[in-house]
Structures are given as C-alpha cells and as structure tokens.
Structure 1
Amino acid sequence: MIRHYMKAIAIALALVTAQQAYALSLTPEQQRQLEALPDSQRQQLMEQYRQATSSSAGSETQQAEDQGKQNERGKQPGVIPLAEAQAQSSGQSRETGGGAPDEQTVSGVQEGEKTSGEDEKTAEDILREEYKEWRQASSLSGDDLLPFGYEMFAGQPTSFVASGDAPVPVGYRVGPGDEVRILLTGRENQDLTLTIDRSGTIQLPKIGPVSVHGKTLEELRSYIQGIVKEKFIGVESFVSLGELRSISVFLTGESRNPGVYSVSAFSTISQALSVSGGIELSGSLRNIQLIRDGKVVSQFDLYDLMLAGDRSADTQLKSGDVIFVPAIEDRIAVTGAVVRPGVYELEGPNSLQDILKLAGGLRAEADPGKIQVSRLRPDSKRTLIDLELKNAGDFNILQGDTIRIGKIHDRLRGAVEIRGSSPITGQYEWRQGMRLSRFLNNRNDHLDDDTDLNFGLIASRTGENYDVTLRRFSPKDVLANPGSQADPILKERDSILLFEEGESRLGLLEPIIGSFREDLGAEELPPLVSIDGAVRYAGTYPLLEDHTINDMIHFAGGLARDGQSLISADLEFGLLIRRQGDFGRQINPIPYRPVSALNQPHSEDNLSLQELDRILVFNRNDSRSDLLQPVIEELREDLLPGQLAPIISITGAVKYPGSYPLLPGTSVKKLIGYAGGLTNASYALEAELIRQSLTQQRAESELIKLSLKTPEDQSLELAPTDRIHIKRLPDLNLQQTVTLQGEVNFPGSYTIRRGETLSQVVERAGGLTDYAYAKGAVFTRERLREQEQKRLDEAQRRLRRDISTSRTDAPGEESTIEGDEETVVRVLEDIGEAQAVGRLVIDLPELLAGETSRDVRLQDGDTLAIPEISQAVTVMGEVQFATSHLHDPSLSIKDYINRSGGLAFQADESRIYVIKADGSVTVPDQSRWFGSTDPVEPGDTVVVPLNLSQLSSMELAKDVSQIIYQVALGAAAVQGLKD
C-alpha cells in the first residue's frame, strides 16, 4: 500500500517541480501524505524525478492556448492521466491527435512501459493469464472460469468517458479552470469565452472582475444575467459552460495501474476506474472506497451497477480525492447450467438462492435436483455436498465453495427419424403401432428420384444398453403393400435409412459401424462383416441378427454388372473368409456358390454370418489374385517349423490360374472348378502335379502324371503346396494375319498358316498389278518396330545427355560457328518427333522370281506395302532446298544435289549416302562420287547429313541423324500408300 502512495506522490511531485506544467498542485491531503514519509524516502523521490521533469516547461498561457484550440473544435479535454497532461504542456504531439476523449490514452502511470505484445492482447486474454496464476494459489476448484466483472474496466476505455456533448451534472459548481461562455445580443453583440481564474473570478468586459466560484450553472446564469441587465440597457445574455476544468485524483490499492490521474471535474468513481485500466484480480469490486480529506465518504459496490444498473453510490469526484480498491476477501465459483458461470465475490452471508441470482439464474436445461457444492474443509480436504434447490434454497455458501448446477438428461423421446435419400428427412412424432407407410406412402413426395427402391434399413436402439439392431425393408414393397408384413412397425427412436442408387452406403452407416466397435471386451470381435469383389458397394457393414450371405449381397447393392447390364460376378464359386481362435487371428476359408445363395436362401450355400466374416465375390472377367492375395499372405504367416502353408496352385489352360487356399477335401476336380474350369485349349489326356514333402534334412518334390478324364485322378485329394499344371494344346485358337497394301490385285488382311511365306501370300492375293514398283516395297514388322523404338529412345537419351554435358569451347575443339545452338535445338526437336516404323529390307523382285533364300517367313501383324511405279529421286538433309526430282539416268548424285540448290552451310559432304527404294542404304565409292555412273534409281533418296563435328561430344548425333532420316523415309512411304 505504501508503495502505491509513494509512486503517486512522486509523480505529483514531478509535475509540481516542472513549473506547474498543467496548472496542477498537490492538494492538502497529498501534501500530508508526502510529509508523512521518512526524510530519506522523500528526498529520494524528489531526486529521482527532478531531472526527469526539469526539461518539461509550460505556462498558464500555453495551457489556455491549448484549451482554446480544443474549444474551436467543440471538444472537451476528456479524461487523461497526469503524465500525459505533462507531455501535452511541453508541446509533445500525441499519436492520436488528442482532440476527442475517446481517442486519448487512458493507461495510468506505471513503473515500467508495456511491451507491444501486451498492448495487442485483449482484456479477456489478460484476465485469463492473470486468473490462471491466481487460481494456482486459490482454494477454488471446478471449471476454468473467469472472475465476474473485471473485464468491464480492463484495457482501453469504451465507456464512462466524458465528452463535449455530455450534459453538466445537476449541482455541479464551477471553479478555477472552467470556461464560461456568454452570448450578448441586442445593442451589444458579443460571444465571450471566459476562464475562471484561481481567485474564482472572470473578467467581464466593461464591467470588471466578477466572482463566480462555487455557483451552480443555474445560479451562474441568473447571476450574470442580472449583472448584464443592470449594466447594459437593451442587452440580453445567454450563459453556458464551455471546457470544464480537470481535477487530479489518486487511484490506489489493487488498481491495475495505480497513480495520479487528471479527469474531468464531473467524473465519477466508475469513470476513474475505467480510465485507469481496471482492477487487479486480487482487488474487490464490492467495497471500493472514496476517501476525501482523510475520511471515507462513499463505498461503491460495482455489482449494483453491473447487475442492477444502480449508480446511486457512484459519487462525483473532487480534486484530491483518493479511490482506494481493497483486496478481495471471499470468492466462490458457479458453473454448469446457469446463465453466467463464473467466479463471484461474496459480500456478507449468502444463501444458495442469492448466489444463483448473482449468476443470472438457472438455464432451461438446468436440473434443480442436481446441485453439488464442493467445499474446502479446515483440514485442507475437499468434500462434496449434493443438494436439491427446493430443499436447500437457504443453504449457506462459504468462502472457496464451488457450486455446480447439473443438467437434465436432454434426450428426445417419442420420435423417429428419417435420414438419407428423401425430401422429408428429419424427426417426427412416434405413436404406438405406427408403420413405415405412415411416412412412405407417395413415391413422388416422400422419395428422391434416385432412391434405391429395393433396399432400406431401420436402425433401432433396444435393450437396457440401447444396443443398435437393424431391420431391412424394401421401399418399393412398402409403397405397394401398406399395412402388410412388408410394411414394418416402427419403434420409438427408430432411424429410417434410405439409400441413394449408385452411391456408396457407408456414409449413412458410418455412425452405426462406429457404435458397433465401441464398448467391446478384450476378446470380443466387433459385429461387422465385409464384402469385396463383384458387388455394387463393397465395404464393411453391420452384422444383422440371422444375417446370411444372401442378406449381405443385398446389403451391398447386389451383384455388379458390366456395361451391358449383365451380371459380371462368378456365380459358381465364392469364398467366405471366417476368423477363428484367440482374437480372430486364424482364418478359415469356406467355399460357397453365389447362385445358390441368391436363388435358394435355404440352401447350404447361403451361410449364416459371424463377426468379422469376409465375403469374396469373384468377377468372371478378371483375375482372382487381387482378392485372394491378402488371404494367401495371411495363410503363409505364423507357420510352425516343418509346416507347409495350406496353399495350392494351378497354372496352364484354366480360366483363372493362380494360388488358392487349401480347403478341406479339395480334389483336383474341385481346384479346377475354383479356377473357373478348363479352357478349350486344355489337353485333357495329361496334366502334371508337383507335390512337395518335408524330411528331416530337406524338402523333396514328386511329379505325378494325371489324366483329367480318369475319375480316380480327378478325385485325388490335394495336399499343402501342391501345384497342378494343365497342358495347353499347341496352335489351338492361333489366328495370325498379315496385311497387303498398295499395288496387289486383291489387297487386304489375310489369315496365314504357321510357317507360310510372303511369296505364298502375295500369290494368294493375285500377284502384283501392272503399276507396281516391286523395288520400292516396304515390309514392316511389329516386333522389329518395338526393337527399333527402344534403340531410338536410347539413342535420344544418350544424345540429350551428351548435349547437356558438352562444352562447345572445350580445349582441342574447334570454335563453334554462328548458328550451332539453333542447330542443336533443331536436332533435338527432330529426335523427339521420330517414331520407329519396323521396316525389314527385302528384295521383292528376286523373292517373287522364286529365290527361296530371299523369301520371308511371315509373323502375325506383318504388313507389305507396294507403291506405284515411281519416277522421282528425293534429296533430303542439309541442302538449300530439299525436294524431289524427276529421275534421269544421266544425272549423278552431285547433279541432284546441285538441282536442290547445292550443299547447305552445315552439310557433312564426306558422309553423304543414298537410301534405296527397297530401304537399303548405300555409301557411294569415294573414287566415283560425282561420276556419271553414280547408281541413282527411281525411288531413291539422297541424304546429306548434318555436320556435327564442330560441336563437342556430338559423335552420337551423326548416327542419330541417319536413323531419323531412315525412319522418316519409311513412314512417308507407308503414309503415301494410305493416301
């Protein structure tokens, strides 16, 4: 407490020392408090603030000018701390402009400055941090509640701040520093603004000093009007107050920012608390004391203001007043179903009813019969007291009690719910004997267009533990036969689930599946079943009572269908994977026939289901390995030493080769059935069985010959790891075709026999036409195309790598000429566009002439394209203008190149070559390159490669460029025939 007084007195001292910067002085009460301090402390305070305030200068004239500026804006000075008044008087500008009271800083004088992080915190954040620390030393228990009322004054002021528009309180008496405005009209027209000086007088022009100190506004108005009427004839006066004086008050005790504050002369206790930033959590809100001239003149209970709006004790302040906030004594906590849960301050004896009134009363869901009081006993142990409000309204509440108000069990009763694909989803009243047709009796009004009409569920909660049970129904049957057995009777709290056609059903079922997984014992398995494979909505579903495979397939939307709406499931073989043993760690595969389970619900194939069963429905068009692989892997786990995995395999001419679980009593015939049966290419006279056995030293294999037509072999029972291979008939269903295009008498696709040659097929096609150019025939093969494409791709990757790692100015290399970079880019583009053709060079004229060594043994997919007689010679590559020329036997290679404009700048003259019409490549002898005997024939192509020797690490590009030209030529020839 002394620390707060010392700080407040020191600040006031600093202001007085600064030549009365804001026209403030210590009041007699403050002076007495200062003199009561020891000499050493008083001297220390004066020395501490002497230098800090020596530079602050001001005068009453400067103060009047500042007030005049505010007067022009029509604003009151508002409420500001003394420290800020000092800064204003020394000419320091404020960030906010300082005009309106709402914009002025309201924090009190503190020992240290707040950080920016603290300034950004909200009042609630600050209170929560403080309360968390305070609570650790508190006796309260219960929820993390905030003390009531402290946030009202915390942080920046948002209320209780005086403004220029506020009316002057009744009974306010003017004094030094107040402005009096006098408007004279009539023979004299003047607008006077006069400030009351320290002697309590104002200077009226032509009249002189007039004493007005201590008068109320009404008294002042009557007094001045009387003087004006007496001194001036024909002059009317109108009197009002302008800027009012500021007064200094102390805030001490448990204030958040104790100190001396400059406030408006008609401010009250609550306004001063607001500008000071509020009250510490350790301070009392119910016993705030106003001390004037050393006596307590008022005690203010903030709860009266906050809970009842009562400001009768909110006394108006006078200069020199001290607002003292004592420490809080008693607190209790109220939590649960009340309007205002929080921590409240006690004032005198309080009953339970009083405390509930403080907390705003009970909420609608509160249970008056479920009230608990947690009380700290003198032995530092807590005890719990259960109360009922009707019998304990007068129960006395003590310091540290925590009161918890319970809630009623808010569960909706007497209702049913509709969920899913329906326009009438929601909750409805339930009545005894109500049937589902009460809600589903009109297709258009009660069901969506895409509702699944064949399947719906009713989820009921029954038994003492409200366990979930499911019933299945058909919306179509409910609409067609209301009141029948197909129209189920509803129970209270039923949920009717309607599913959308074509959408997964797991969305509506997710809460039910979650409830099935809850509250299980250590050895209990969740009542869930999964179904995978050729069904419409595979997934995990709740297990219904007496659930069978038939029910589960319908649960999953039925069997899947292909694009033609045909059932794509294998109707002859399916598997049920059942879990057994401790925690379901062992699996037991059980076969079933889906067709029997669906069409004959009472057959043995329609197996009853258990917890965690997994139903596999295989697709007759796909491999079964995807569904069986998890089962196979699990069967291979946890094997004992010397134990073989219960897995068998079948390969060869069956529809679905692969590995299968070894089921009890599985024979060779049954395994073939599991695999979809034999194909028409199977060799039924002989099959092979590889059987493995373990000895103490090693594993041994045995080969067993089987005849699939022998009943004894068909009924042979299989053992773990047995492998059966069904032999395939050679060449059965082998359909191979070749295609003849171009100049043949009967072009088209021809089915060939194994070993048939090209000459034989050409003969079957009627031979060549009179316009055929046999030398230019293009023969392509798919297998060669694939191989060439791989080599071309590899060459492309190597070339790109060499280009990216090469340096054109490497030592020993020639300097790069202009345009090399563009050339490299063009080569890479050509490489990226090149696609292999798969051309096989043949000599068709000799082949047709009967040269058997030249004949080609055909393969499936071969193509022969025979062009029309050609008269052109094509020049490609690095020439000025690549084009084709009419064949002239007298022209040489050089002549054709010259006719194309000659060699280009980057041509590689030493590597020119000719691609013949049949696809072969010739490099003319250098000794006769440009002689008259150069072998250029119709359909030939002269290729002038790109000279890449000037580019470093580019030797590979020379080979690649040749590949590109060959590929382009072959592709052009084939495309020409198609056009």
Structure 2
Amino acid sequence: MANNATIPGKEGKDLASVAKPADARVLVPAPQTQDQLENQSSDVFGAQLFTGAFSQPGASQFNPDYAIAIGDQIQVRLWGAFAFEQMLTVDPRGNIFLPHAGPVTVVGVRNRELEGLVQAAVRRTFRNNVSSYASLAAAQPVRVFVGGNVNRPGLYNGTSMDSVLRYLDMAGGVDPERGSYLQVQVKRGQETRATANLYDFLLQGTMPMVQLADGDVIFVPPYEQRVKVKGLVANAKRFEFLGNQQTVAQLMALAKPQATATHVRVTRNTGNIRNAEYYPLSEANQVTLVNGDELEFTADKKPGTITVRVEGEHNSAQEYVLPYGSHMSVLLDQIQSNANSDMGSVQLFRESVKQRQKEMLATSLHNLEMSLLTARSGSSDEARLRKDEAELSLQWVKRAKEVEPVGQVQIAKAGQLGSMLLVGADRKLSHL
C-alpha cells in the first residue's frame, strides 16, 4: 500500500521530522591536537585537510546507493488496521523481523529500495487498510584500522557511512613528511576495495564513497616523488606526483602561477651538486621533473611602459604613461607650465632611492649605537659622563629611526636633467 504523507495520531508532522534521530545535538569543535596544528602550518599541499574539521561526528546522511549491512538500524512503522512501531536491527543473517510478515532479507539492499521492499512484504500479509513506512535510522557501528604513514596509527570507532577523511583526521592525518596524498587505500582482507586521491578532493571536490565494514583497513603508503614550488604562484607548496613523466606544465595546474610569471627556474638535486636550469613557461610541457626538484616561478620581462606622476604647479595631467627607457626630456615636453611654475627647480623622487636611503640610515644609526655602547672610560667620573651622553644620544637615535626618507634624487646640473632616464613610480615636482 502506498505510503501516506502523515501518520495517524501524528497529524501535522512531516515523516522526515518524525524519523529524525532523537540524539541530534549541536557539536562544539574539540581543541586541536599537536598533529593538527602542525598540519595547519605545513608547506605540504594537502596537509591542511587534517586540522580536526572532519573528525567531529555528525548526523548520518545516507545516500541512495548505501547498501544495508548487518548491524544497521531500520525504523519501521505500520498503521491503519494494524499498528506497529519499532527500531529493528539487521540480524547476523541479514534479516529484520516484521510482525505477521516474518523475516525480510534486507542486507545488500540499496537504501532507495528499502521502503519498497518492506511495503511488498507487508502487502503479502495485509491486503488492505495497513500502511507502512521504513527508513534507515542508524548505520552499523564499525571499528576501522588506520595504518601506514599517518601521524597516529590505530583502531578507530565510527560508522560504516563515515568518510575516509574522518578516519584519517582522527588518526592525525597523513604524515606530511612521509605519506602519500594520492594513493590512500581502503583494504578488506587482501583486497584493495578503493583508492582515494586527496588532490581530487582538494581541486575538484570529488571523493569516492566507500561503505566501510568492521575490520577494514585504511592504509597510507609512502609518497613516490615530490617537488617544492615557490615564487610567483598562488600555492607555494610541496607537491606529490606519480611516475616519471611529470612536467612543469602539469605542475602549473596545481601551483597556479600568477599572471606576471614568465619563466621557471628548476634546481636539480643531484647529491652534493645542485644544478639550476632556466626555462620560459612556453616550454613548460617539455620540462620533465624528478623527485627533489625545486621550482621558482619568476617574472623575467622588461615592462613595456612606465607610469610617472607629476605634482606641483602645472596645467597638465598628473600621471603619464611613457615607453620603457624614456628620458626626462620626453616628459618635460608634455608638461604645460603656468605662471607659478619654476621649471628650473624640478625635483625628482624615486622609490628605489627611498629604499636605499632607508637602508643607509639604518646602517649609520646601528654603527652609532655600537660606538656609544662599547666606548671605554678611563675613570669612574668619565664613565658617568659617557653614560649620560650615551643616554641622550640613544634618545636621538630612537627618534632618528622614525624618520621616513623621501627618496629625492639629487640633480647636479639643470642642463643634464633632460638626459636622465625615468623609471616606474617616479614623481616630479615643479615649484614656484
């Protein structure tokens, strides 16, 4: 008999809400373990998966393809001419027992087929006036071994529907220095039932659904090959790969170079000697990588244009885009002066000069501090005098460290101004 929308005696209640487990509750995240903290700060791609987010238990969500197993709990309700409501556990023979209908074999039945199977069994006994409802309420409790290259190998409790990620997270995650993120195996006896590639989960959101059983083993083998990536990339990490045909182009799909990157430097680890190779990214599909290589993505291209800002007294635009290598004369020809302009007193400010001035100032102040703190005295009176002088000088040094250089370029002769090369981010001021 077809299932109805509501159950007599429970009018107004949706069946899904009635079947909701009574022990559902809000879970408070547990404090992170040392292994999880180390995973969070690791430079190995994939280690950030195991920081405790998967280890928390949650309400079971059964997919339609879940196969009923021994030990699963099934909520069964009959109403109408005959009333019955009970949580039934699948027995060792794979059956549940329905009153008057007898045993019904449900082991191996897909979740989406469960209710139809129970309805057919009820119809064989109750021809009319009895409706039925059956739903999977709780998955079988299982104990799963987690071994291989994980931080805390052991036997962990869960359910048959918990993901491989949860068991790995409870075991502290894959050991970043030894374990493979590409070949996580699920074994039952001598058979490897599934192999999970955690990169697929990170990059594509795909993860094989494996229904675990008591005594299954999740095994993490050692990684085969690994390279380190740095420079102009979104993911500056250590990446794992399989086989001997990995190219720079394939690695770029994982590391995601920035738009400004043009070349890659490959440092080969050949024992005591480290050889560096340099390639444009256009040849990335021809460069093969081996275990231990280090890659740095760089920008090796001169800018086609530069931007210069003009401030002070003039009637022109404030910013100019000029070809790379332009001289000051090219810019001065485009500036329209006004009555307040003094084109003979143009000043130039440059970011690179500002940085050098800051470094030179810091070096000078450091040397001054050392001379004040290491000066020797011939007598106690001289020592007190030097101490007082040093305190005053150190106060001045402290204030001097707060000075921000302006990066002004000294122009020796006005006649040479037009031949000076411009660089990006230069600023020009013409004063009254």
Structure 1 CA distance for aligned equivalents of residues 310 and 304 of structure 2: 15
Give the conservation status (yes or no) of the 8 Å contact 2:163–2:210: yes
The structural deviation recorded for 1:489 is: 12
Within 5 A, what are the aligned runs for 1:526-541?
A: none
* Alignment-mate amino acid for residue 357 of structure 1: A
Give the conservation status (yes or no) of the 8 Å contact 1:162–1:264: no
- Relative to the length of structure 1, the TM-score reads 0.31
* Alignment-mate amino acid for residue 272 of structure 1: Y
Q: Would the alpha carbon gap of residues 338 and 198 (structure 1) be closer, same or farther in structure 2, given more than 3 Å must change?
A: same
The structural deviation recorded for 1:355 is: 2.0
Within 5 A, what are the aligned runs for 1:751-762?
A: none
- Cα deviation 1:389-426 (Å, max 9, x = unaligned): 3345312211111111112457683432145899x996
Q: Which residue of 2 aligns with 1:375?
A: 268
- Cα deviation 1:151-199 (Å, max 9, x = unaligned): 11x22124896524x2x22332223332212233433455433233344
Structure 2 CA distance for aligned equivalents of residues 261 and 76 of structure 1: 24
Give the conservation status (yes or no) of the 8 Å contact 2:54–2:165: no
Within 5 A, what are the aligned runs for 1:256-295?
A: 256-281=151-176, 282-295=178-191
Q: SS at the partner of 1:277?
A: coil
Q: Which residue of 1 aligns with 2:296?
A: 404
Structure 1 CA distance for aligned equivalents of residues 95 and 298 of structure 2: 67
Give the conservation status (yes or no) of the 8 Å contact 2:39–2:47: no
Question: Root-mean-square deviation (CA), in Å?
Answer: 4.3
Q: Which residue of 1 aligns with 2:204?
A: 308
The structural deviation recorded for 1:388 is: 2.6
* Alignment-mate amino acid for residue 267 of structure 2: S
Q: Which residue of 1 aligns with 2:248?
A: 352
Q: Would the alpha carbon gap of residues 543 and 194 (structure 1) be closer, same or farther in structure 2, given more than 3 Å must change?
A: closer
The structural deviation recorded for 1:235 is: 1.2
Q: Which residue of 2 aligns with 1:74?
A: 20
Q: Would the alpha carbon gap of residues 439 and 247 (structure 1) be closer, same or farther in structure 2, given more than 3 Å must change?
A: farther
The structural deviation recorded for 1:292 is: 1.0
- Relative to the length of structure 2, the TM-score reads 0.66
Structure 2 CA distance for aligned equivalents of residues 180 and 396 of structure 1: 55
Structure 1 CA distance for aligned equivalents of residues 409 and 288 of structure 2: 54
Give the conservation status (yes or no) of the 8 Å contact 2:36–2:173: no
Q: SS at the partner of 1:229?
A: helix
Unpaired segments ≥5 residues, structure 1: 1-70, 78-98, 106-115, 132-145, 442-475, 479-485, 498-507, 521-540, 548-554, 559-979
Structure 2 CA distance for aligned equivalents of residues 327 and 516 of structure 1: 47
Q: Which residue of 2 aligns with 1:231?
A: 125
Structure 2 CA distance for aligned equivalents of residues 512 and 299 of structure 1: 53
Within 5 A, what are the aligned runs for 1:558-637?
A: none
Q: Would the alpha carbon gap of residues 73 and 440 (structure 1) be closer, same or farther in structure 2, given more than 3 Å must change?
A: farther
Q: Which residue of 2 aligns with 1:194?
A: 88
Q: Please tell me whether residue 318 in structure 1 is matched to residue 216 in structure 2.
A: no
Q: Please tell me whether residue 217 in structure 1 is matched to residue 111 in structure 2.
A: yes
Identity of aligned residues (%): 23
Q: Which residue of 2 aligns with 1:679?
A: none
- Cα deviation 1:823-863 (Å, max 9, x = unaligned): xxxxxxxxxxxxxxxxxxxxxxxxxxxxxxxxxxxxxxxxx
Give the conservation status (yes or no) of the 8 Å contact 2:186–2:193: yes
Within 5 A, what are the aligned runs for 1:805-844?
A: none
Number of equivalent positions: 348
Q: Would the alpha carbon gap of residues 333 and 327 (structure 1) be closer, same or farther in structure 2, given more than 3 Å must change?
A: same
Structure 1 CA distance for aligned equivalents of residues 223 and 307 of structure 2: 52
Give the conservation status (yes or no) of the 8 Å contact 1:76–1:244: no
The structural deviation recorded for 1:347 is: 0.4
Q: Which residue of 2 aligns with 1:719?
A: none
Q: Please tell me whether residue 477 in structure 1 is matched to residue 369 in structure 2.
A: no
* Alignment-mate amino acid for residue 299 of structure 1: T
- Cα deviation 1:106-151 (Å, max 9, x = unaligned): xxxxxxxxxx8x74x69454554xx6xxxxxxxxxxxxxx111111
- Cα deviation 1:724-774 (Å, max 9, x = unaligned): xxxxxxxxxxxxxxxxxxxxxxxxxxxxxxxxxxxxxxxxxxxxxxxxxxx
Q: Which residue of 1 aligns with 2:46?
A: 149
The structural deviation recorded for 1:335 is: 1.3
Q: Which residue of 2 aligns with 1:385?
A: 277
Q: State the structure with bigger RCO (CA 8 A, min sep 6), 1 or 2.
A: 2
The structural deviation recorded for 1:437 is: 8.5
Give the conservation status (yes or no) of the 8 Å contact 1:435–1:489: no
Q: SS at the partner of 2:262?
A: strand
Q: Which residue of 2 aligns with 1:340?
A: 235
Q: SS at the partner of 1:393?
A: helix
Give the conservation status (yes or no) of the 8 Å contact 1:124–1:151: no
Q: SS at the partner of 1:176?
A: coil
* Alignment-mate amino acid for residue 514 of structure 1: Q
Q: SS at the partner of 2:172?
A: coil
- Aligned to 2:142, which of 244, 247, 252? 247
Q: SS at the partner of 1:365?
A: coil
Q: Please tell me whether residue 416 in structure 1 is matched to residue 313 in structure 2.
A: no
Q: Which of 385-394 and 242-251 deviates more?
A: 385-394
Q: Which residue of 1 aligns with 2:77?
A: 183
- Cα deviation 1:223-251 (Å, max 9, x = unaligned): 22122223223112122111222222110
Q: Which residue of 2 aligns with 1:805?
A: none
